A = this chain, B = another copy of it.
């Protein structure tokens, strides 16, 4: 086994991988929010850019990554693939633990993978403004950056609890000349519904999405951009898993277990789907684990049915695990995982029992983060720490059973802006 793994430029994939092309039975269609019919291309384009909708609906197995996008990826991709020798030693486990670190890029999380692509598509179509929501601020920062790189204005509704806890993220977005609003705000009907009841309402991703969508559908040349959940977003994130496969080949190992945290599901899908292809096509056996917070247990406690992606019933109806469109999670720090729903594709695989799900409490997750921080030296985002927590559990199980195994997890982002949360949990 090779322990120092390269980041060869040729590991950046040529194309995104569309897992739907490898499914015999397709997931249930998205429905129009009013008619409840299967949604069409024309139904979606008032909200999203045309090219994005094409990618959402494509049946092609591979979608080429444009050169202009690849050039921006090359700033931080291929991302590091790291052998966790310090963690292994600390746990005294026979398991080999690796992680794919998406936090080393300029925006500090995997969100740039889709932000850059979405901003590029918008710029090609002459869209002047993208609106969006952000929880922890990672997605908002990533889109703000991508907008700056491709000359597209960005308006961000930031969930109030994060807006206040993470001023650095707000400053960063504003430095990119993005317009950042605390959500729920008084500037939209969707926001006013909550703001009028409580002007300190902590907010939720569902509410912020409604606000961003309202602005998009009521303005001309403005489209909405979503940072997770949709098939096209998951598609863009498959660069993570494809690189990981190439890097594991260099390392000379293949995973027994692949782990990712889930909020909307895109980081997990990003690392898991390319490996899932080897399960589907080559009959490989891998245990996939999606990890969520107990405070927002979408997979483990949510119901699989049609639900809206936002809190005001403006999005298409998605067949997904959901805690209900009105669900407002407690103010836990893993702001990026505070979403009521789960990507339809991740829900699909969970329903087919191709993936497992686990929910952890915040103290448990912070303990895992601290172990990781001190043994591997990287300050993880609280969201990403859910994956660390599962990796530790798996490694300890290997120790108990005295069986070697290869564990890979996605470390979706760094925690440089989460020091308040860490200080509180010290």
**Contact residues of A with B, CB < 8 Å?**
3-10, 12, 70-72, 74-76, 78, 80, 82, 85-86, 104-108, 145-146, 148-149, 167-168, 171-172, 174-177, 370, 373-379, 414, 416-417, 419-420, 422-423, 426
| Contact partner, A74, options B3, B72, B76, B86, Cβ 8 Å | B3
Bound CA–CA A82/B76 (angstroms):
9
Q: Is the CB of B168 within 8 A of A419?
A: yes
Do A374 and B148 form a contact, CB below 8 Å, given A9-B4, A172-B379?
Answer: yes
- Report chain B residues within 8 Å CB of A148: 373-375, 377
B contact residues around A9 at 8 Å (CB): 4-6
How many copies of this kind of chain does the complex include? 2
Closest to A421 in B: B171
Q: A106 with B175: in contact, given A71-B4, A416-B417 (CB under 8 Å)?
A: no
- 6 tightest Cβ-Cβ pairs between the two chains A and B: A7-B7, A106-B378, A4-B74, A171-B419, A168-B419, A416-B416
A378 cross-chain contacts in B, Cβ below 8 A: 75, 106
Q: Which of B4, B76, B167, B422 lies in contact with A175, CB distance below 8 A? A: B422
Contact for A106 among B3, B105, B377, CB less than 8 A: B377
Max chain B C-beta neighbours (<10 A), residue from A5, A12, A78, A85: A85
| A419-B75 Cα distance, complex, nearest whole Å | 22
Closest to A82 in B: B75
Check B8 against A12 for contact (C-beta < 8 Å).
no
User: Shortest distance in angstroms between A187's beta carbon and chain B's nearest beta carbon?
Assistant: 22
A186 CB, nearest partner CB in chain B, Å:
24
Complex Cα distance A75/B145, Å? 25
A379 touching B71 in the complex, CB below 8 Å, given contacts A6-B9, A76-B80, A172-B419: no
Q: With A6-B8, A417-B416 in contact, do A377 and B104 touch (Cβ < 8 Å)?
A: no
Measured in the bound complex, the distance between the Cα atoms of B168 and A420 in whole Å is 8
